[in-house]
């Protein structure tokens, strides 16, 4: 069976997606709303972004969620004082519209995290990002160590590939439970007000967002890759976000 998302990506899009008031909007953070930085803690939140997110959320009746690989606490710190519905750690932790939290019972073994930390101690430029449910080896500042990071991560999960995956991201390898994907926030939130009954639209830039794209498409919506739809420019995504706020 042909993947509808793959077909959609083959068709050139001559203009940006036309916002609609009946959307339920799911947005990635790094590489989508925020420009990628050398390390995750060095990202810059543009001064208008929080205001524009609030305006877009209001225009969509509150049906706007952030779905990020970052921990929920990091999402909140970056977007303070906003507390939008959100999926942190690719959906492992979910904040519902009423503020309640749900969490997947799946984590990466601590000995794998320790092995990556030990390896990074001996190689300058590799950054290990520890999360609650996953772990990431960043090599943006050590591109020559890409093969080393990949091989080590695959060695760690060897024999447990049915439960865990070593996912190739942008200048990083992430080990995460297979039960955790960005499809989860889309599927869960679309059952709840104010998302229910709307058309899901997921905007993201990385391989981890593809699960969110597919979930949105499966529910009759759209998945928009930042590279294909916005020329790989988060600033263009942010400018587009302003037009959504203007729907109200």
CATH T-level topology, domain 4-104+181-245: Rossmann fold (3.40.50)
Least confident range of 4-8, 96-100, 155-159, 186-190 = 4-8
> What's the whole-model pTM score?
0.86
Active site amino acids: 28
pLDDT of residue 6 exceeding 70: no
Q: Are 152 and 115 in contact (CB under 8 A)?
A: yes
Q: What is the pLDDT of residue 140?
A: 84
Q: What is the pLDDT of residue 3?
A: 53
Phi, then psi, of 173 in degrees rounded to 5:
-120, 130
State the CATH architecture for 110-177.
Answer: 2-Layer Sandwich (3.30)
pLDDT tens, residue by residue, 53-109? 999 999 999 999 999 999 999 999 999 999 999 999 999 999 999 999 999 999 999
Mean predicted lDDT score pLDDT of the chain = 91
pLDDT tens, residue by residue, 176-212? 999 999 999 999 999 999 999 999 999 999 889 999 9
Domain locations along the chain: 4-104+181-245, 110-177
Q: What single DSSP character describes residue 228?
A: H
Q: What is the pLDDT of residue 38?
A: 81
Averaged pLDDT, 102-124: 91
Averaged pLDDT, 151-161: 94
**pLDDT band, very low/low/confident/very high, at 141 (cuts 50, 70, 90):** confident
Q: What is the pLDDT of residue 10?
A: 42
Q: What is the pLDDT of residue 191?
A: 98
E strands within the chain?
Answer: 23-27, 64-67, 86-88, 93-95, 101-103, 127-130, 135-138, 164-169, 172-177, 199-204, 222-225
Burial class (CB in 10 A: 0-12, 13-18, 19+), 148: middle
Q: What is the pLDDT of residue 189?
A: 98
Q: What is the pLDDT of residue 89?
A: 93
More confident residue, 193 or 5: 193
**pLDDT band, very low/low/confident/very high, at 248 (cuts 50, 70, 90):** low
pLDDT tens, residue by residue, 229-246? 999 999 999 999 999 998
């Amino acid at each position: 069976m042909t993947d509808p998302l793959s077909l959609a990506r083959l068709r050139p899009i001559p203009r940006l997606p036309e916002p609609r008031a009946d959307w339920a909007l799911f947005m990635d953070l790094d590489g989508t709303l925020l420009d990628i930085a050398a390390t995750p803690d060095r990202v810059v939140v543009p001064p208008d972004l929080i205001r524009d997110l609030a305006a877009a959320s209001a225009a969509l009746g509150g049906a706007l969620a952030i779905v990020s690989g970052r921990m929920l606490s990091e999402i909140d710190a970056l977007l303070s004082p906003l507390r939008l519905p959100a999926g942190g750690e690719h959906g492992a932790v979910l904040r519902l519209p009423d503020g309640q939290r749900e969490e997947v019972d799946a984590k990466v073994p601590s000995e794998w995290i320790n092995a990556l930390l030990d390896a990074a101690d001996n190689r300058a430029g590799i950054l290990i990002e520890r999360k609650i449910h996953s772990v990431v080896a960043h090599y943006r500042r050590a591109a020559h160590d890409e093969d080393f990071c990949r091989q080590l991560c695959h060695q760690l999960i060897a024999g447990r590939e049915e439960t865990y995956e070593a996912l190739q991201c942008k200048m990083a390898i992430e080990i995460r439970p297979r039960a955790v994907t960005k499809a989860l926030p889309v599927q869960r939130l679309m059952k709840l007000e104010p998302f229910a009954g709307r058309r899901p639209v997921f905007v993201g830039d990385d391989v981890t967002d593809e699960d969110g794209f597919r979930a949105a498409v499966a529910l009759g919506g759209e998945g928009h890759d930042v590279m294909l739809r916005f020329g790989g420019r988060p600033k263009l995504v942010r400018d587009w976000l302003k037009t959504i706020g203007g729907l109200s």
